[in-house]
């Protein structure tokens, strides 16, 4: 029986990618698994010259002419069919038991809307320093450790949520989209959990880790203001201070970097003003 013939799709992987004309990239993502065992929705941001077609019953494809990771995630939520869904990028490699880990977690936490997990780099090192290594309920202070590729969710509970299209790769401000999404979920009273199980590998480099990059500091300024309002000025100042303490910028760079953050706040305020007009 093909997955399409099943009345209900138990689990679905929602993949964001760009300019694909072949499904071959899935083989690497699922090298420890069998692609045919999974229901997959691919959002391929592209143009008319690069069309992705699926002839697989378990793989659906939407070719989108919008740009930005948040647009891709929103389109995936809109068209998803799985009871439990997992957000994905095209450069991850899944562990062979990742599906069972996710479904077991959602069975154990039946009221949870969203459950996050851990992931490692290709050298086997944890991708980040998780502040708590035990299962726990996320709060505003812990959702910052969550990357989008380890966000799983019960579709019925999140289908009214959206990623802010002004944030994330390909947008005006290239960070923070998953954190803002999760904060919105918390604000709406949704239960978010953490289960300390590794479900995938991811390349060690992440644009979000390039702390001293001017473009990302600009984006972080906007993110701080979006999330905290006027306190965002203090938040971005504290962030630049931490970057300095880590030795990633010199003392002479402190003020120029801070100005980049303030420029981001100004840009976001102007954008918000245009939207409200």
List, for residues 161-212, the tens digit of each pLDDT value: 999 999 999 999 999 999 999 999 999 999 999 999 999 999 876 544 578 8
Backbone angles phi, psi at 222, to 5 degrees: -65, -45
User: Do 96 and 224 reside in the same domain of the chain?
Assistant: no
Least confident span in 119-123, 149-153, 239-243: 119-123
Task: Give dist(CA 180, CA 228) in Å, integer.
Answer: 11
User: Do 179 and 248 reside in the same domain of the chain?
Assistant: no
Contact 121, 203 (CB under 8 A): yes
Does pLDDT of 241 surpass 70?
yes
pLDDT at 277: 58
User: Do 105 and 132 reside in the same domain of the chain?
Assistant: yes
> What does the pLDDT look like over 35-83, one tens digit per residue?
999 999 999 999 988 899 999 999 999 999 999 999 999 999 999 999 9
pLDDT at 203: 87
User: Do 253 and 198 reside in the same domain of the chain?
Assistant: no
User: Do 9 and 145 reside in the same domain of the chain?
Assistant: yes
Task: Give dist(CA 160, CA 49) in Å, integer.
Answer: 33
Does pLDDT of 23 surpass 70?
yes
Number of domains in the chain: 2
Least confident span in 18-32, 122-136, 219-233, 236-250: 122-136
Question: What's the whole-number mean pLDDT along residues 222-234?
Answer: 96
User: Do 197 and 219 reside in the same domain of the chain?
Assistant: no
pLDDT at 46: 96
User: Do 24 and 153 reside in the same domain of the chain?
Assistant: yes
User: Do 164 and 248 reside in the same domain of the chain?
Assistant: no
Q: How confident is the model at residue 1 (pLDDT cuts 50, 70, 90)?
A: very low
Query: Taking Cα atoms as reference points, which of 31, 39, 33, 30 lies closest to residue 1?
Result: 39
pLDDT above 70: percentage of residues in the chain: 94
pLDDT at 7: 56
User: Do 120 and 171 reside in the same domain of the chain?
Assistant: yes
Among left, alpha and beta (phi > 0; psi -120 to 50; other), residue 189 is left
Segments forming the whole domain that contains residue 258: 210-276
User: Do 269 and 168 reside in the same domain of the chain?
Assistant: no
User: Do 24 and 156 reside in the same domain of the chain?
Assistant: yes
Domain boundary among 181, 207, 233: 207
Mean pLDDT, the chain, rounded, equals 92
Question: What's the whole-number mean pLDDT along residues 91-118?
Answer: 97
Domain boundary among 179, 207, 235: 207
Domain boundary among 162, 192, 207: 207
User: Do 192 and 237 reside in the same domain of the chain?
Assistant: no
CATH number of the domain enclosing 54: 3.90.550.10
Contact 101, 203 (CB under 8 A): no
């Amino acid at each position: 029986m093909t997955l399409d013939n099943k009345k209900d799709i138990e689990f679905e992987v929602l993949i964001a990618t760009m300019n694909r004309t072949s499904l071959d990239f899935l083989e690497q993502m699922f090298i420890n698994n069998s692609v045919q065992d999974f229901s997959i929705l691919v959002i391929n941001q592209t143009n008319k010259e690069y069309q992705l077609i699926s002839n697989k019953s378990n793989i659906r494809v939407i070719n989108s002419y919008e740009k930005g990771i948040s647009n891709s995630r929103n389109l995936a939520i809109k068209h998803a069919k799985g009871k439990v869904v997992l957000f994905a990028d095209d450069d991850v490699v899944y562990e062979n038991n990742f599906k069972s880990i996710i479904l077991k977690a959602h069975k154990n936490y039946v009221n949870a809307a969203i459950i996050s997990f851990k992931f490692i780099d290709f050298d086997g090192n944890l991708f980040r320093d998780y502040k708590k290594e035990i299962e726990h309920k996320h709060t505003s202070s812990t959702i910052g450790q969550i990357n989008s590729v380890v966000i799983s969710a019960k579709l019925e509970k999140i289908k009214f949520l959206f990623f802010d299209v002004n944030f994330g790769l390909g947008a005006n401000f290239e960070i923070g989209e998953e954190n803002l999404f999760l904060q919105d979920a918390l604000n709406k009273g949704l239960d978010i959990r953490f289960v300390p199980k590794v479900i995938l590998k991811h390349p060690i480099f992440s644009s979000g880790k390039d702390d001293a990059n001017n473009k990302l500091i600009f984006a972080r300024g906007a993110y701080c203001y979006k999330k905290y309002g006027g306190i965002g000025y203090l938040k971005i100042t504290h962030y630049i201070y931490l970057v300095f303490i880590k030795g990633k910028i010199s003392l002479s760079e402190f003020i120029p970097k801070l100005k980049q953050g303030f420029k981001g706040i100004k840009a976001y305020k102007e954008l918000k003003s245009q939207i409200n007009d």
